[in-house]
Amino acid sequence: MAISLKKPQEIEKLRAANKIVGGALELLRANTKVGMTLKEMDAMAEDYIRSHGATPSFKGLYGFPNAVCTSLNQVIIHGIPSDYKLQEGDVIGYDIGTKLDGWFGDAAITMAVGEISKEDEALIACSKDTLHYAIDNIKQGMRFKELSYLMEQFILDAGFVPLKNFCGHGIGKKPHEEPEIPNYLEGNNPKAGPKIKNGMVFCLEPMICQKDDKPIILENKWDVVSADGLRGSHYEHTVAVVNGKAEILSLA
């Protein structure tokens, strides 16, 4: 496994691409209201990305048709924008990628539409809190498997389960690079596998199910739901390891 190390000036290029992602997500957060369609949210983000000199990197990636993954309620990741109008009590996830000067950005949020149940608040909090807990605990020299184990335990302790078969990833001049970073320990030894080093840049993205970790891909070949049929949540940041700890690049 060849995990690339980025030079400081390359990390700044990645920061620029990711800052646009962060800005687009904040724009969507501010405009998520009852009655807005998923296609309107998608177009709003695409306009923002292009107006900042970047391209929406998900559009056409592996055949995905839009700029934003809009994952509604039971859809945990990879939702395709539709004419659906947001309703009070919905839970909506936005996942956005950009390409700027040959470098990629990637981040995601899940949020409430109006008032949601306490259970859904806890569901969203789990993905967000897992992400920040993991970022806060990254240290040079720890293994990626330790990071996966840490996220899994945090999710389980919150009363949820991590979605299987999907993972975080490296990022740079490609949208997906080595390593793959599951939100759960594969195998039984967290002290195995590659170590985290200064200059590594990667995306962490906890994907949360309520009861069943088995993914089901719907008929459109994109929407991923849990076998339990219940709502899920997803949060993501791109981080760089600088001076021994993780720095978030995907902030507006």
Q: Which domains does the chain have, with CATH numbers?
A: 8-248 (3.90.230.10)
Q: Please state the length of the chain.
A: 252
Percent of the chain with pLDDT over 70: 100
| Average pLDDT value for the chain | 97
Cis, peptide link before residue 175, omega less than 30° from 0:
no
Residue 153 confidence class, pLDDT cut points 50, 70, 90: very high
Residue 13 scores a pLDDT above 70: yes
Q: Give the integer Cα–Cα distance in Å for 218 and 79.
A: 10
Tens digits of residue pLDDT in 67-83: 999 999 999 999 999 99
In Å, what is the CA distance from 128 to each residue of 35, 134, 204, 242? 25, 10, 11, 22
Helices (H) and strands (E) in the chain, counts: 4, 15
Residue 1 has pLDDT above 80, yes or no: no
Which residues are registered as beta bridge partners of 226? Answer: 215
Q: Which two tokens stand for residue 88?
A: 């009070």
Q: Cβ distance 173 to 219 under 8 Å?
A: no
Does 211 score more than 90 pLDDT?
yes
